[in-house]
Structure 1
């Protein structure tokens, strides 16, 4: 029996609640990122778990927006053909179905027991214009090896069409990362920054779902406004050829200490959602 389509009011309610959860997940994850440098020195496993759970919460909340919107005939959007959303949904589904090592995060990769004693060097890529003040404020990187494995899985397992695989591979800069990896020691892991990909996907859906989103909190109001006005991350940038991850003295994240510095960093480099969280923290 066919389900009758949701009314506009029902659709707005479902999408708004999902977007609100997405906004809260972004805020909580950014708080984890802000605490990460200190916690990484004290308890690397807890730090890695917090960040991994934060990323999963974002991805699951994004999928909830997709679930709320996909069956509304008033919303015309090709989720699995639009590169930013197709990529984020594929990563989420891989984690949900335990495919390709669940697309490990950088911190998870280096703090699991099986990695004990190995070199902490890795290759790292992010997206956007070359930073003007050094490293991005926050980086939350995921494994290229795992992502590449996902894209090479049989369709029966991954449910990714050849067209979608090609779209994702091109979008994340797969050719450049594969070329870089081929010039390195085979044991050097390669990671790429997931945060700009989250921003791009959010911008893509906000441009379509705007009329269906009613803000339910300060978080959703702030992030909705931010995604409407922030810039796209497009260019792939190799940040470090070999960047050491040390649990005693990590440079994986920078924790700004003043509002002025927060605003400066958010305007020039790093995760655009940092601006929104800083805005939320204003007295």
Structure 2
């Protein structure tokens, strides 16, 4: 049980660090003062969260608790594992955040670019998350890779597409007269949904060692998942400072 406790502790701290990195970037203005540092902080924190989910999966397997929930047939969980593995194995351009995509694809840093932002609304009033958008173009490319490359079975790929309701993304692009590659979706509600899926199954195996683990263990037992079928869609100008 200590492996599961350790893994959940790591996940709890990683979630806090991602929250703080996002707050520093936006609320405290670091994104305008030092784009590279702000983006680096968010990228590192997101990678840590994704890796922590994988560590939790691995800990459950090693503790012979995999029977509690099948990560690969649970859309909320297989989605996170797919994102983590793509980044870990340098596939599909490592699933870029909007910040990294802009830095690599913008004609000129500082120039305004138009992106379509898809969010997954909370089912509880006031429970919306902060935003870290990732590239649908990269995720689409990942799901299209041969199974011997991505290790994602077609059944899992289809489950991910259905879970995110990605069939709607092309129509959003058409509505705003942009290419589908300009669609990004918020990964944070998906992190929350994954935690909501797994935490009730392992709560009896987790010893609370910190304020973070206590807070998230309680939160994810009682929160409602974000709605991934009915999107909130916006399109607007994005520009980051050089």
On the 8 A contact 2:129/2:188 being kept in 1, the answer is no
Q: Does 1:206 align with 2:199?
A: yes
- The residue that corresponds to 1:150 in the other structure is 142
Q: Does 1:27 align with 2:16?
A: yes
Distance 1:74 1:190, change over 3 A: closer
Aligned residues: 234
Q: Does 1:230 align with 2:228?
A: no
Matching residue within 227, 239, 244 for 2:237:
244
Distance 1:16 1:130, change over 3 A: closer
Matching residue within 106, 121, 126 for 2:119:
126
Mark the runs of 5 or more structure 2 residues left unpaired by the alignment. Answer: none
Q: Per-residue deviation at 1:73?
A: 3.4
Q: Per-residue deviation at 1:247?
A: 3.0
Q: Does 1:14 align with 2:3?
A: yes
- The residue that corresponds to 2:70 in the other structure is 78
Partner deviation per Cα, 1:102-155 (whole Å, 9 max, x = no partner): 00001111123x42426421001111258978xx56201100000000011111
Q: Could you say which structure has the higher helix fraction?
A: 2
Distance 2:56 2:154 in 1: 25
RMSD between aligned alpha carbons? 2.1
Distance 1:85 1:178 in 2: 24
Mark the runs of 5 or more structure 1 residues left unpaired by the alignment. Answer: 1-11, 249-283
Single out whichever of 14-23 and 205-214 deviates more from structure 2: 205-214
Q: Per-residue deviation at 1:49?
A: 1.3
Superposed structure 1 runs of 4+ greater than 4 Å apart: 129-133
Q: TM-score, normalised by structure 2?
A: 0.90
**Looking at CA atoms only, which structure, 1 or 2, has the larger radius of gyration?**
1
Distance 1:163 1:137, change over 3 A: closer
On the 8 A contact 1:48/1:111 being kept in 2, the answer is no
